[in-house]
A and B are shown apart, each in its own frame.
Chain A
Amino acid sequence: MNITVCIKQVPGTSEVEIDEKTGVLKREGIDSKMNPYDLYALETALRIKSDKNAGLRVISMGPPQAEAVIREAYMMGADEGYLLTDRKFAGADVLATSYALSQGIRSLGHSDLIITGKMTTDGDTAQVGPEIAEYLQIPHVANVLRILELNEKSITVEMNMAESVEIQEVLLPCLITVEKDIYQPRLPSFKLKLKTADRPVHYITFNDLEDKDESHYGLKGSPTQVLKIFPPPAKTTSERWEGKGEELGQRLAEKLHELKFI
């Protein structure tokens, strides 16, 4: 079985400033890290790898410095890493990113299972995973809470439907996006860092892709026009309840249940 996990390098803090004029994130001088949601995807894949003796590769799209997240995936136990990098991919919106990634994944050969995080902390769209699946013409399940069964032919998962949980069995090959906390991600290992220090990170450029129509990639392939980017106002809504302890306790329990905290 071959598993492919999509990972992304994002700014190391959630408090990134936005350039008011250009609407671009100010990335200079800011530390970067692997998108925290991707850690759950990678951990899910690592568990399947050790259970089923599966092969595990990771793929990322970004500038050459995004190699750091591939190295980090090696330190967690990934076997091979691919970085989709080319000036022609620059300025890609969600759709163009998904398309380039789908092309990149296709160039790797067959994947039985593709796993992505639910979303990224810098984009927050949660659309790239499902769009990759659409471009690859394979089924997908988003917001997976738990994997109930995985065999040669199919995977059975619990999907978070906000108000309810749906159990789905999907034929392989397919793509799943996993929720935060599906498993506690392991930490990168120093031993694996030493062991994989010489392992190459494979670069995939425009010329390696099957579709060589430049208008499908980067800014040219992006139908999205960004008019303005601005930080959302901080949420300060609160509710105040008054009443007897017992009543309030009951109400609080119901509220927590509704919010799925319990």
Chain B
Amino acid sequence: MNYKQVTQTDIEALLAICGTENVLYGEAIHEDYSRDELAGIRSFPDVVVLPENAEQVAAVMRYAYEHNIPVTPRGQGTGLVGAAIAIHKGIMLSTERMNRILELDEANLTLTVEPGVLLMEISKYVEARDLFYPPDPGEKSASIGGNISTNAGGMRAVKYGVTRDYVRSLDVVLPNGEMITVGGKIVKDSSGYSLKDLIVGSEGTLGIISKAVLKLLPLPRVAISLLVPFPDIETAISAVPVIIRSKFIPTAIEYMERNVILSAENYLGKRFPDSSSDAYLLLTFDGNSKPDVENIYEQVAHVCLKAGALDVFISDTAERNESIWSARGAFLEAIKASTSEMDECDVVVPRDHVADFINYTKAIEKDLGVRIASFGHAGDGNLHVYVLKDELPENIFQEKLSKAFDLFYAKGAELGGHVSGEHGIGYAKKEYLQRMNGETYMNLLRGIKKVFDPKGILNPGKVC
């Protein structure tokens, strides 16, 4: 693609649109805007705009479209696949200043927000009003716009589903600056192709979300977690399908291994309630009364013991849940801190194949001679597998990493899985998406992209 180089004239035009305090260029562009949480890739945009409203977003897009300047949208930069990196430079459009909660509609159970509102602000706001926004990704400082753009999943997906299930409507600024609304405050919708569901998960390649209406639920009053120790990871993972078959649906089923727990203890300087076993499942149940939830978890506890659990530990107070979930929330950072560099495979497989996939990563760890750590959402089949550099020289690490990833994604495909469960494709996983889906599929994606963005100026080089 041949894009127009950003000049002083362009910067002045952007200053006129957004105001002097909302445009950064030259030295003023902080290093944060050159990257996301994906290791290894850095690229500074020529100019960063921080619009305050949808009209400014639209004006920036109209200008960029007219002058053929690439635009990379960015939320909080917490993505893991490079989707928010301005690899073609140009304009970075950060939604961080569009961060207002606009409306709580208790009759329709919806919350209307701007894209820059943080996930933790949403949960705090709605939970104080006895309402509940179920998606619960680990990164609470992510923006809701980013969450919608990657169709973020998180830890309650087993029972409640993912971000896409909680988006009622979106206001979107198209690449040419036109504004549309997709979806509505409606529960049912059979009105033609669902553009709303297409925009969700499109990683800022089809349009820029300027407003979102989220679906809420009543807040469950009680949440109890079970920390279930197993003698080894195989027994732990094999228990998952048995639990799911028992028909008592937990909100979360996470698996964790002892070495990851120890990393988290070191990282946080806090002890986990138990780290004497090699492998654990962490289950959470919610409901409206303690006796109801107890009745359910007791039956599942029996199922776990029958499936080979060493015990079942009960976490039934805020302090106990905090001692477990604060560690669980820090796993990614803890693994990162335990090594020099790493890359992640966020593969998703059918739930009955989780054990196969984890056993496969263990075999690869041995075969390739590279440390591999994993944890993840055993209950929804979404695994986070990390290949760690440790003391390996760069070229050897890259070689082993690429081999490991080739094998992981091939195995994932063989088991009926997909490339990404919740992190997206962005820049880093494009090749694997292509390999797993083939030309016909990719051509459909490219065709859709072309309809939305004929000039290819919005987040170029991402997804397809």
A184/B305 in contact, CB under 8 A: no
Q: Mark B386-405, 1 if CB is under 8 A from A, else 0.
A: 00000000000000000000
Contact A189 to B312, CB < 8 A, known contacts A31-B290, A184-B271: yes
Q: List 17 A-B contacts (CB under 8 A).
A: A33-B316, A34-B317, A36-B319, A39-B319, A75-B314, A184-B270, A184-B323, A185-B273, A185-B320, A186-B273, A187-B274, A187-B313, A187-B315, A188-B313, A188-B314, A190-B305, A190-B312
Interface size class of B (residues with CB under 8 A): 20 to 34
Contact A187 to B305, CB < 8 A, known contacts A31-B290, A36-B319: no
A187/B273 in contact, CB under 8 A: yes
Q: How far is the CB of A17 from chain B (nearest CB, A)?
A: 16
Q: Mark A192-227, 1 if CB is under 8 A from B, else 0.
A: 010000000000000000000000000000000000
B273/A36 in contact, CB under 8 A: no
A228 at the interface (CB under 8 A from B): no
Interchain CA distance A184-B318 in the complex, whole Å: 15
Q: Mark A22-61, 1 if CB is under 8 A from B, else 0.
A: 0000000001011010010000000000000000000000
List, in ascending order, chain A residues with CB within 8 A of B226's CB. Answer: 190
Q: How far is the CB of A241 from chain B (nearest CB, A)?
A: 22
Interchain CA distance A39-B273 in the complex, whole Å: 12
B98 at the interface (CB under 8 A from A): no
List, in ascending order, chain B residues with CB within 8 A of A257's CB. Answer: none
List, in ascending order, chain B residues with CB within 8 A of A33's CB. Answer: 316-317
Cross-interface CB contact of B317 among A36, A75, A189, A193, cutoff 8 Å = A36
Interchain CA distance A189-B319 in the complex, whole Å: 16
A191 at the interface (CB under 8 A from B): yes
The 5 A-B pairs with the shortest beta carbon distances in the complex, nearest first, are A184-B271, A187-B313, A190-B312, A190-B301, A188-B314
Residues of A within 8 A of B (CB): 12-13, 31, 33-34, 36, 39, 75, 183-191, 193
Interchain CA distance A184-B315 in the complex, whole Å: 13
A191/B290 in contact, CB under 8 A: no
B272 at the interface (CB under 8 A from A): yes
Contact A189 to B311, CB < 8 A, known contacts A36-B317, A184-B272, A184-B273: yes
List, in ascending order, chain B residues with CB within 8 A of A188's CB. Answer: 313-314, 316
B38 at the interface (CB under 8 A from A): no
B91 at the interface (CB under 8 A from A): no
List, in ascending order, chain A residues with CB within 8 A of B318's CB. Answer: 12-13
Interchain CA distance A155-B319 in the complex, whole Å: 29
Q: Mark B264-290, 1 if CB is under 8 A from A, else 0.
A: 000000111110000000000000001
List, in ascending order, chain A residues with CB within 8 A of B317's CB. Answer: 12, 33-34, 36
List, in ascending order, chain A residues with CB within 8 A of B273's CB. Answer: 184-187
B212 at the interface (CB under 8 A from A): no
Interchain CA distance A138-B323 in the complex, whole Å: 35
Tell me the interface secondary structure of chain B in the complex: mixed
Interchain CA distance A75-B301 in the complex, whole Å: 14
List, in ascending order, chain A residues with CB within 8 A of B323's CB. Answer: 184-185
Interchain CA distance A188-B319 in the complex, whole Å: 13
Interchain CA distance A184-B272 in the complex, whole Å: 7
Nearest CB in chain A to that of B319: its residue: A36
B314/A186 in contact, CB under 8 A: no
Interchain CA distance A75-B312 in the complex, whole Å: 11
Interchain CA distance A33-B316 in the complex, whole Å: 9
A190/B271 in contact, CB under 8 A: no
A190/B272 in contact, CB under 8 A: no
Q: List 7 additional A-B contacts (Cβ < 8 Å) besides A36-B319, A184-B273.
A: A33-B317, A185-B323, A187-B313, A189-B313, A190-B298, A190-B311, A190-B312
Interchain CA distance A186-B255 in the complex, whole Å: 19
Nearest CB in chain B to that of A187: its residue: B313
List, in ascending order, chain A residues with CB within 8 A of B216's CB. Answer: none
B313/A190 in contact, CB under 8 A: yes
Nearest CB in chain B to that of A262: its residue: B269
B57 at the interface (CB under 8 A from A): no
List, in ascending order, chain A residues with CB within 8 A of B301's CB. Answer: 190
A186/B270 in contact, CB under 8 A: no
List, in ascending order, chain B residues with CB within 8 A of A31's CB. Answer: 290
Nearest CB in chain B to that of A39: its residue: B319
Q: How far is the CB of A180 from chain B (nearest CB, A)?
A: 10
List, in ascending order, chain A residues with CB within 8 A of B314's CB. Answer: 75, 187-190, 193
List, in ascending order, chain B residues with CB within 8 A of A185's CB. Answer: 273, 320, 323
List, in ascending order, chain B residues with CB within 8 A of A34's CB. Answer: 317
Q: How far is the CB of B231 from chain A (nearest CB, A)?
A: 14
Q: How far is the CB of A119 from chain B (nearest CB, A)?
A: 15
Cross-interface CB contact of A187 among B227, B290, B298, cutoff 8 Å = B227
Q: How far is the CB of B244 from chain A (nearest CB, A)?
A: 19
Interface residues of B in 213-253 (CB under 8 A from A): 226-227
Q: How far is the CB of B299 from chain A (nearest CB, A)?
A: 11
List, in ascending order, chain B residues with CB within 8 A of A13's CB. Answer: 318
Q: How far is the CB of B321 from chain A (nearest CB, A)?
A: 10
Q: How far is the CB of A7 from chain B (nearest CB, A)?
A: 14
